[in-house]
Structure 1
């Protein structure tokens, strides 16, 4: 097994798990379905195509900056079969019918993700991320990622890199130690929280989306002080980490 390391950062991200049409939620960390969607877009996998090639991947998420949850609303529709009621209790015509949807986002969040898989599969994904067929996005098409997205590929132990090598955008006070939350698949030892998510995609077909459940563990782990940097020091350290992997 080998892996790659991704950095997911953007003004807005959204990682829905049980969204319905008029109310789109977001979890506080990337979902498996969202991460597979990002990789599938880069590879040019069309909706409705089999997703078996992604089953063997394992994801570990480090929550570098949780961001701020925000709710936006969109007025959509017009020409829908079901009309929208007016203040007078009547129905708008199909040509003018609209609906309001509420959509949740994470603003200014940052995550570092370790993706583990076979060497051949990781090489395929790394090549796709360097030359994406469709532009990757962070949960929704309106949320393109900042660069760099792919930090390293063919990493022997990408999870260890999250713990010991990838810099974290945080300035510590004198004497302060930092613990960062990690989201891992399965039931982890000393997990502080364990939950089940319906985010394992079986089909991204527009009219037949199907998901399985998985167990996820969340636990805080200490991060070496040397990894916690801010400003130009952080970007220089991140560039050094990327360059050393080439």
Structure 2
């Protein structure tokens, strides 16, 4: 039996950042390790420039996700005015930028992607070298030090995270725990109201058989979402395993 901290993530808007080049800011369909570590760090009050605190949190936990719904993709189109770079000119505030002469103002076009009404279950467990406790993480999620958001500050949770600790013999059992329905009187009404798909996606780290002892139908890839240095936005690779399961097979 392994003890897990399990909680739920839901919001009208969420954005799980991926590698971004140029003006496009895409989003994954579910949160990666960096997003979950950032969420827990905000709850604990670990600042981005606290390298030791970030390392302690990163090295203490393993993470798995159950995507109950990826949500609907929303693309937000932006036009932003910024002054051109000039030698010997420093803009210290946004007001300074907008006060620059119009002849040096440029317009940047960009797009930002969001997931609308996505729903995910997160399971966290301690690694052998853990320097934190699941109890401390649970209490932090119930009374966070900093405001929590799902990827961007414009994406606060739309429902309680409902964190709880419980021991399970399989990781999949932890991810399949039942929460109080977000809408409706039971799970079936919630499924209809939120238009949850027939399939659930499981994503985890460790080994291909760690989900439920069955390595069939599992795919893996290298994900560059291991936070190495938050101040410099440096990330490293990790191996992530995934399997899609039909809703009627979840239990």
TM-score by length of 2: 0.74
Q: How does 1:53-64 map to 2 (within 5 A)?
A: 53-54=56-57, 55-64=59-68
* Cα shift readout 1:163-191 (whole Å, capped 9, x = no counterpart): 354475424xxxxx954211111441224
Larger displacement relative to structure 2 (179-188 or 109-118): 179-188
Cα 1:209–1:225 shift into 2, 3 Å: closer
Contact 2:69–2:200 (8 Å) recurs in 1: no
Contact 2:142–2:163 (8 Å) recurs in 1: no
> What does residue 92 of structure 2 align with?
none
Unaligned segments of structure 2, at least 5 residues? 87-101, 182-186, 209-214
Cα 1:58–1:97 shift into 2, 3 Å: same
SS of structure 1 residue aligned to 2:176? helix
Equivalent position to 2:173, from 146, 160, 163? 160
Cα 1:119–1:40 shift into 2, 3 Å: closer
> What does residue 83 of structure 2 align with?
79
SS of structure 1 residue aligned to 2:27? coil
Contact 1:13–1:143 (8 Å) recurs in 2: yes
Equivalent position to 1:170, from 186, 191, 204? 191
Equivalent position to 2:103, from 81, 90, 93? 93
Name the CA distance, whole Å, in 2 between partners of 1:101 and 1:41: 27
Name the CA distance, whole Å, in 1 between partners of 2:236 and 2:229: 10
Unaligned segments of structure 1, at least 5 residues? 83-91, 172-176, 228-246
1:80 is displaced (CA, Å) by 4.0
1:4 is displaced (CA, Å) by 1.5
1:99 is displaced (CA, Å) by 1.1
> What does residue 52 of structure 1 align with?
55
> What does residue 22 of structure 1 align with?
23
> What does residue 69 of structure 2 align with?
65
Equivalent position to 1:212, from 222, 228, 236? 236
Q: How does 1:1-246 map to 2 (within 5 A)?
A: 1-20=2-21, 22-50=23-51, 51-54=54-57, 55-81=59-85, 93-94=103-104, 96-117=105-126, 120-149=132-161, 151-157=162-168, 159-163=172-176, 165-166=178-179, 169-171=190-192, 178-188=198-208, 189-205=215-231, 208-223=232-247
